Chain A
């Protein structure tokens, strides 16, 4: 039973990290990118590539995975978000990020292969550790570091305040002399780094697998819809709750019902409380 809880916490931490990535991007650009889960997928695949195939040292592999995530997300902003936002059609960013997500999935499937490949051990440890296994605690640790780091960044640094100003009211921020385009690009780089870190840390749990991208996009979205869009606390709580839920669903009903239960929760929350548990109420446009 303890095993089920720890597994739920660990997979929930991965969902929570994806939800945080959604939040950071949403705050500055008001875009929910379909390619969000793919950042962590890239972090996992490139982590495995750097460590297992190129035999690079751990720290280089970690930094490399983070850099790949940040670079991919920066490119997403450059190609799929910036030009589309200038045109201000509500649906277009959905299409363009979906296109980017599909392309990167297919590239990874062709280059890395369509089978999930194992991720190397980061620290020397036996395989019969039960719940003390690093594959559970690394993603939890990474998500805690990410969430706390984001909170400190938003509260204590100048750039964090610029992020908040841009997310509150981009026009007002621009009038005060903030280069909102640059802030948006920076937020994508930051969230890409966070996604890369999460994917790297979760590599042993999820394996380096190209189809992880869409799964994380969907589950991270469920976490954020349950927790409330725009709230980092909500993202973490939503992610953990979702992870627990799917872990227990697997335990009681078997693995075939994992997604069905998660999506049932999503639809229930959206009907009862459409803004999520910690989200701010949206005003109906009239």
Chain B
């Protein structure tokens, strides 16, 4: 990478960050700010889920169950027992992580379709129990959820809180994806046998990433509940899980920026284009099908390819020459 493009990249990053921080002053009304908050909350979950789906290739469709666990956890801890909301949010993360651990322990040993079905089953159980445990969750009636204390009680303050959490989690996932962990995950996704043969503990890697995604889902659940201010079992329908899933696949597996753009676009489009909101899931299903059939790598890859075409990489010539000094040393060592 040349100095020039690195400078341009940092400049873009800084500009993006400034834009995101200044967003409450840019938007025209409260509704758009609410939309931005929703995107942020979804992204917190999707960033964690992206490591599971996009990097390690485990197709979990049941993260909506973990979101519900976090949301109900927050409503109960902060609402019923009057804990400070920020503390409750951390507890939600721990709760989500615990549920992710318990769910991942048996299910991550299973092959693709079995895993997807068990996660789907988990989401079904959570919905069923949130209706059944009336004392705890209010049953079908639902629960009111408290907001955060000052300075996060205003819409702007709450937005900045979400932004801070989202930024922290994006940074964490970026570190995981970029370093040896991410390589191991991609290895697991592309060929478990090859990953195992180079010494990756496949099950352990999958489990750790899954627990991490559970933590992010729990935190996202707490923020989501507070954002909605009232939750019922109907809030956490299976289609929401499908939505998370579609965001990642459309954005492109094995990238962080792609799913982020996918989240923004898929959350915003039905709000902006009203007829699509009615079609809802049909639209998501259709997009998913189109992406799978045409560009299984996601639209993100398509964009990269287009970029590469307009801005072709100049091939650098590298000379392969023997290094006499090194060679002599190696020979010497072989003789000894």
Footprint of B on A, CB under 8 Å? Answer: 32, 34, 79-80, 83-84, 87, 89-92, 94-96, 98-103, 105-107, 110, 214, 218, 221-222, 225, 254, 256-260, 263, 266-267, 270-271, 274, 285-286
- Check B296 for interface membership: any CB of A closer than 8 A: yes
Bound form: Cα–Cα A32–B117 in Å = 11
Bound form: Cα–Cα A79–B245 in Å = 20
User: Cβ of B112 and Cβ of A91 under 8 Å apart?
Assistant: yes
A178 smallest CB distance to B (angstroms): 26
User: Cβ of B110 and Cβ of A274 under 8 Å apart?
Assistant: yes
Contact status of A107 and B282, CB under 8 A, knowing A87-B296, A260-B128 = yes
Query: Which listed residue, A32, A260, A266, touches B113 by the CB 8 Å rule?
Result: A32
Interface string of B102-134 (1 = CB under 8 A from A): 000011011011101110111011001101100
Contact status of A92 and B121, CB under 8 A, knowing A256-B128, A260-B129 = no
Footprint of A on B, CB under 8 Å? Answer: 57, 59, 61, 106-107, 109-110, 112-114, 116-118, 120-122, 124-125, 128-129, 131-132, 192-193, 238-239, 242, 245, 249, 278-282, 284-286, 288-289, 292-293, 296
Bound form: Cα–Cα A285–B124 in Å = 32
Q: Is the interface of B mostly helix, strand, loop or mixed?
A: helix
Q: Total A-B pairs in contact (CB under 8 Å)?
A: 111
Question: What residues of chain B lie closer than 8 Å to A102, measured between beta carbons?
Answer: 239, 242, 281-282, 284-285, 288
Residue of A nearest to B133 (CB): A256
Query: Which listed residue, B118, B131, B292, touches A96 by the CB 8 Å rule?
Result: B292
A-B contact list, 21 entries, CB within 8 Å: A80-B289, A89-B296, A95-B59, A96-B288, A96-B289, A96-B293, A99-B286, A100-B285, A102-B285, A103-B286, A103-B289, A222-B117, A225-B114, A256-B132, A258-B128, A259-B128, A260-B129, A263-B121, A263-B124, A267-B106, A270-B118
Question: What residues of chain A lie closer than 8 Å to B59, measured between beta carbons?
Answer: 91, 94-95
Bound form: Cα–Cα A266–B114 in Å = 10
Residue of A nearest to B242 (CB): A102
Question: What residues of chain B lie closer than 8 Å to A99, measured between beta carbons?
Answer: 285-286, 288-289, 292
Bound form: Cα–Cα A224–B49 in Å = 28
Query: Which listed residue, A98, A221, A257, A286, touches B132 by the CB 8 Å rule?
Result: A257
Bound form: Cα–Cα A258–B132 in Å = 11
A212 smallest CB distance to B (angstroms): 13
Question: What residues of chain B lie closer than 8 Å to A91, measured between beta carbons?
Answer: 57, 59, 112
User: Cβ of A105 and Cβ of B281 under 8 Å apart?
Assistant: yes
User: Cβ of A79 and Cβ of B117 under 8 Å apart?
Assistant: no
Question: What residues of chain B lie closer than 8 Å to A263, measured between beta carbons?
Answer: 118, 121-122, 124-125
Bound form: Cα–Cα A140–B32 in Å = 54
Residue of A nearest to B117 (CB): A221
A103 smallest CB distance to B (angstroms): 4
User: Cβ of B128 and Cβ of A92 under 8 Å apart?
Assistant: no
Bound form: Cα–Cα A283–B131 in Å = 41
B250 smallest CB distance to A (angstroms): 11
Question: What residues of chain B lie closer than 8 Å to A103, measured between beta carbons?
Answer: 281-282, 285-286, 289
Bound form: Cα–Cα A165–B286 in Å = 35
Bound form: Cα–Cα A258–B299 in Å = 41
Q: Most chain-A Cβ atoms within 10 A of its Cβ — which of B61, B124, B192, B286? A: B124
User: Cβ of A98 and Cβ of B282 under 8 Å apart?
Assistant: no
Bound form: Cα–Cα A10–B293 in Å = 39
A225-B117, A274-B109 known, 5 other contacts, Cβ within 8 Å: A84-B293, A95-B249, A98-B61, A263-B122, A286-B193
A245 smallest CB distance to B (angstroms): 14
Bound form: Cα–Cα A87–B109 in Å = 25
Question: What residues of chain B lie closer than 8 Å to A105, measured between beta carbons?
Answer: 281
Residue of A nearest to B125 (CB): A260
User: Cβ of B124 and Cβ of A218 under 8 Å apart?
Assistant: yes
A6 smallest CB distance to B (angstroms): 24
Contact status of A256 and B129, CB under 8 A, knowing A94-B59, A99-B285 = yes
A281 smallest CB distance to B (angstroms): 14
Contact status of A218 and B120, CB under 8 A, knowing A106-B279, A270-B106 = yes
User: Cβ of B296 and Cβ of A92 under 8 Å apart?
Assistant: yes
Question: What residues of chain B lie closer than 8 Å to A84, measured between beta carbons?
Answer: 292-293
Question: What residues of chain B lie closer than 8 Å to A270, measured between beta carbons?
Answer: 106, 110, 114, 118
User: Cβ of A95 and Cβ of B128 under 8 Å apart?
Assistant: no
4 smallest CB-CB distances across A and B, nearest first, come from: A256-B132, A102-B285, A99-B289, A106-B282
Question: What residues of chain A lie closer than 8 Å to B292, measured between beta carbons?
Answer: 80, 84, 92, 95-96, 99
Bound form: Cα–Cα A221–B114 in Å = 9
Question: What residues of chain A lie closer than 8 Å to B280, measured between beta carbons?
Answer: 106
Residue of B nearest to A33 (CB): B113
User: Cβ of B296 and Cβ of A79 under 8 Å apart?
Assistant: no
